[in-house]
Amino acid sequence: MDVVMINRTNYGHLTLCDFQLKVCDSQCELCTLEDTCRHCDDFHYGPNCENICSSGCAHGSCDEVTGICSNCSVGYSGEQCQLKSDNGENGENGENCTNQPCSINQTKTATNIEFWILFSIGFLALMAIPFLMKRFHKRFRWRVTLGSSPSNLYGQTDRARFNLNSSRVILEPEGDSHNLNDPYSGVIQVVVTFNNVGEKKLPIEQFVKETHQKMMKNEFYSEFRGLPNGPMNLHTAALRPENTTKNRYKKIYPYDDNRVILDPPQDYINASYIQGVYNNDAYIAAQGPFTSQTVIDFWRMVWQENSKRIVMLTRLREDNMEKCQQYWPNDAGEIGPFHIIIQKEEILDQFAIRKFIVRKGDETRRINHYQFTGWPDTKSPQSVEGLLCFRNLTKNSLRSDEGPMIVHGSAGIGRTGTFIALDYLLEKGFKEGCVDVKGCVINLRQQRPFSIQSVDQYVFLLDALVEGLTNIGWNCALHELDEI
């Protein structure tokens, strides 16, 4: 984790485009892109900070150009405090010093007083920081976008030790609305945090071995907590007044640059395109419909995107709470401009499979609906076998002319993100013989915020990957649906 300090002098959105990071040598605190050092640390001097200050030079008193010390430590003398006094002391009033004044008793006394004054001021300042930060964060929050698209996640590794070659910094008012007319004054120092992420693909055999080792050591909690999380891009469309009622959960919004845009007049739905292994729009991660309007919008999306598969990862109700509204009729019915008929329904222990016939005007389509019912919210299924079997069912009879697979739970981030990551990594592993789980999760979160919500889901993903990559024979041919 690294930070960039920015001074902000006006209100509004701040964007840094093509922001390149320059890493100075360790002894240089500030350098230019041309490798010229502008400021040395406290222990080096010279044109490129290549020389080490004398050990007898008091902290912070070494001239970064000449190496001359303005103050020597006790027992040292000389222009650069390189000489030790004969008796190891400066003397009563510095009489043992040569060429350079030494610290004397009066100075030490004054220094002690200054130290306690500065200590008291610093202590009071530290006590005030939490209060000031709380007030500051009530007004603003800061986000970082890693590049302009998920493909920018990994930069070139020859850019010194930073693998990230671009970053955007965005200022937003806290809350659910964008009011750019609020009064603003003063200078704010912005701390921009970003992650240096290097691609780390592991061969399947090595991945399985390392996963077992980490399981034994219980290392996945810290690994999961170390992954970047939270909003990473603009989501202005989700916060428009006419769209806020279509968001079920606060702060879970699709990003502007990869949200699904419905045909006019109402173009907003809480859903995001997700990149796949073979094409850019293999999935749509969506919020589960929860009102009559979002039900209609959901079917508008299914029709518009020519999606033939819907994967539902939640029950309609869990723990006496509605997680998703039933968006299909019990037998047949009208939903907006669509006439929907249930042609086939099969209820199994952990999942249900349905085939819908959907008509709009003179056109008719057949859509498969897969519902996994054995997955509690924010947690993980009881076994990986059931989900692997379910996942393979959703892949039956895929056709190249199909639109994206629509995947949803309740919010469209936890179970949804875990399922998409599992499907993506299994495809990737079988295709290339290696996987990068952390890179996949970060990439996914750049496309849909908060994807894979809990450490339980993260550990389950790894467990299911190990099982799925080493036991290829998971199939549920007994329950295949007719070809679409």
CA distance 401 to 397: 12
pLDDT digits (tens, 9 = 90+) for 308-343: 999 999 999 998 999 999 999 999 999 999 999 999
pLDDT at residue 227 is higher than 80 = yes
Fold of 200-479: Protein-Tyrosine Phosphatase; Chain A (3.90.190)
pLDDT at residue 285 is higher than 90 = yes
CA distance 421 to 423: 6
pLDDT at residue 301 is higher than 90 = yes
Where in the chain are the domains? 28-136, 200-479
Q: What is the pLDDT of residue 237?
A: 96
Both tokens of 153, joined, read 């996640």
Q: What is the pLDDT of residue 389?
A: 92
* SS3 call for 404: coil
- Nearest by Cα to 8 from 147, 181, 185: 185
CA distance 349 to 352: 8
DSSP class of residue 403 equals -
pLDDT digits (tens, 9 = 90+) for 183-201: 323 333 333 444 444 568 8
221: left (phi over 0), alpha (psi -120 to 50) or beta: alpha
Query: Mean pLDDT lowest for which of 16-25, 111-120, 245-254?
Result: 16-25
* SS3 call for 170: strand
**Following CA atoms 85, 86, 87, 89 in sequence, which dihedral angle do they give, to the nearest 10 degrees?**
-10
* SS3 call for 122: helix
- Nearest by Cα to 162 from 35, 14, 1, 357: 1
pLDDT at residue 213 is higher than 60 = yes
Most confidently modeled range among 128-132, 279-283, 461-465: 461-465
Residue scoring higher pLDDT (278 or 102): 278
CA distance 479 to 351: 11
Q: What is the pLDDT of residue 84?
A: 82
CA distance 50 to 423: 52
Please count the helices (runs of H) and the strands (runs of E) in the chain. Answer: 8, 23
Residue scoring higher pLDDT (5 or 215): 215
Residues 6+ apart with CB under 8 A from 241: 177
Mean residue pLDDT of the chain comes to 77
pLDDT at residue 155 is higher than 50 = no
Residue scoring higher pLDDT (141 or 130): 130
pLDDT digits (tens, 9 = 90+) for 415-427: 999 999 999 999 9
pLDDT at residue 254 is higher than 90 = yes
pLDDT at residue 355 is higher than 90 = yes
Identity of the amino acid at 303: W
pLDDT digits (tens, 9 = 90+) for 388-415: 999 999 998 888 889 999 999 999 999 9
Burial 318-354 (b: 16+ CB within 10 A, else e): eeeeebbeebbeeeeeebbebbbebeeeeebebbbbb
pLDDT digits (tens, 9 = 90+) for 440-478: 999 999 999 999 999 999 999 999 999 999 986 555 544
Please give the average per-residue pLDDT across 282-298, as a whole number: 98
Q: Is the pTM of this model over 0.85?
A: no
Residue scoring higher pLDDT (257 or 349): 257
Residue scoring higher pLDDT (75 or 194): 75
